A and B are shown apart, each in its own frame.
Chain A
Amino acid sequence: GENVEQHPSTLSVQEGDSAVIKCTYSDSASNYFPWYKQELGKGPQLIIDIRSNVGEKKDQRIAVTLNKTAKHFSLHITETQPEDSAVYFCAASRGVFSGGYNKLIFGAGTRLAVHP
């Protein structure tokens, strides 16, 4: 069935370093790839997303890259800060264009710790 694998499960970096989280998806029809940040005791919050017609998207210190051929996508956080510490989830979906219901398949999550 549809599956999204996410690595690493935990990531520890020093403040100011970069962090990279990688995901691989199995459904070749997926065309929408969001990333969510979940802080302790809160619900997931969308931080960035990318569609299959785009290879890269940036928003300040956050960027996402997509390789549709390899079915890989990655989250890059530069100049990390302690407030970036959270659990990050990737997800893949066929999106609403396909007429579906925007079923999101989530990765298992990455716990990022940024140390001052």
Chain B
Amino acid sequence: NAGVTQTPKFQVLKTGQSMTLQCAQDMNHNSMYWYRQDPGMGLRLIYYSASEGTTDKGEVPNGYNVSRLNKREFSLRLESAAPSQTSVYFCASRKPGVGTDTQYFGPGTRLTVL
């Protein structure tokens, strides 16, 4: 199993450009999450998907959209990138079932917006 994979690993955008960050998991997990990590602030939840076909806002959703394409894939889209969105983005997934709280993280995408 590859676990949680993310593409691309690095990206540089200009202000106003758009892009989509891709995430996929091969562990048959139901729930998937997108976080951003900024220096001194830990990880903050942007959006999550409890199951295929559902998505909900997290702590910092402004400026982002998501798509749960199928059970495996959960993408994050920046429609008009801003310098404040410079960050490292992590995708995570959690296996189904009561009591299964562990989230498994991907390797991250480092995004710079100029």
A residues at B contact (CB < 8 Å): 4, 6, 9, 32, 34, 36, 41-46, 49, 89, 93, 95-97, 101-104, 106-109
Whether B90 lies near A44 (C-beta < 8 A) is yes
Of B37-45, B64-72, B79-87, the one touching chain A: B37-45
- How long is the Cα–Cα vector from A110 to B44 in the complex, in angstroms? 16
Give, as a whole number of angstroms, the nearest-CB distance from B16 to chain A.
29
> 24 interchain pairs (CB within 8 A)?
A42-B108, A43-B90, A43-B92, A43-B106, A44-B105, A45-B105, A46-B102, A46-B103, A95-B99, A95-B101, A96-B98, A97-B98, A97-B99, A102-B31, A102-B94, A102-B101, A103-B48, A103-B58, A104-B103, A106-B44, A107-B42, A108-B40, A108-B41, A109-B40
The answer on a CB contact under 8 Å between B107 and A9 is: no
Given pairs A41-B107, A49-B101, 8 additional interface contacts (CB within 8 A): A41-B108, A42-B108, A43-B105, A43-B107, A95-B101, A96-B98, A106-B42, A107-B42
Interchain nearest-CB distance for A90 vs B (Å): 9
Chain B: interface size category: 20 to 34
A63 to B103, CA, bound (A): 20
Shortest Cβ gap from A10 to chain B (Å)? 11
**Residue contact A101 to B48, C-beta cutoff 8 Å:** yes
Cβ distance B64 to chain A, nearest Cβ, rounded Å: 17
B100 at the A interface (CB under 8 A): yes
A42: chain B residues within 8 A (beta carbon): 107-108
Q: Ordered nearest first, which 3 A-B pairs have the shortest CB separation?
A: A106-B42, A43-B105, A106-B43
Q: Which of B25-41 contact A (CB under 8 A)?
A: 31, 40-41
Q: Within the complex, what minimum Cβ distance (angstroms) separates A112 from chain B?
A: 15
